[in-house]
Amino acid sequence: MDAIDRAIINTLQGDLPVCERPYLEAAQRIGIGEDELLARLTSLLERKVLTRIGPLYQIERMGGAFTLAALSAPQATYDQIAEKVNALPEVAHNYAREHALNMWFVVATETPQQIDAVIEQIERETGCEVFNFPKSREYFVELKLKVAP
């Protein structure tokens, strides 16, 4: 990464303008053109320096729901179970853990009632019991990591 890439990451964390042309406005703050900003963001994503660019939503305020879930997948079939879990559009991301519950994932749905249906589908398709860990309280922790030279 060069100095401009670092400036892009440092500038856009939590501060992408909400306007008709957010990338133009952001590019002007950085001191580059909109096309260059978009090309560099594409490159950062392709090189896996960034994994995503986009907003974070409070899904409950939009009528949806999400939950953290986990299951215990046998090592011999772990990859096949992960493929089945990850194939569902409601599964946002999935993490392997060194624990009895070795597969943790987030289920996000359009309505709260769909959470149970997705969990039941995962149990049917994988043969594994799914443990649901809905949030009981929400905390806002803003984490911005400055990318240093």
Domain that holds residue 94: 59-133
Q: What is the pLDDT of residues 111-135, one digit of tens each?
A: 999 999 999 999 999 999 999 999 8
In this structure, what DSSP letter does residue 18 have? -
**Is residue 77 located within the same domain as residue 98?**
yes
**Is residue 33 located within the same domain as residue 77?**
no
Share of the chain above pLDDT 90, in %: 70
**Is residue 92 located within the same domain as residue 41?**
no
**Is residue 74 located within the same domain as residue 108?**
yes
Answering whether pTM is above 0.75, one says: no
Domain count, the chain: 2
Mean pLDDT of 93-98: 91
pLDDT at 54: 79
**Is residue 93 located within the same domain as residue 128?**
yes
Mean pLDDT of 65-87: 96
**Domain-embedded: residue 140:** no
| DSSP conformation letters of 55-69 | ----GGGGT-EEEEE
Q: What is the pLDDT of residues 10-45, one digit of tens each?
A: 989 877 888 999 999 999 999 999 999 999 999 999
Mean residue pLDDT of the chain comes to 92
**Is residue 29 located within the same domain as residue 81?**
no
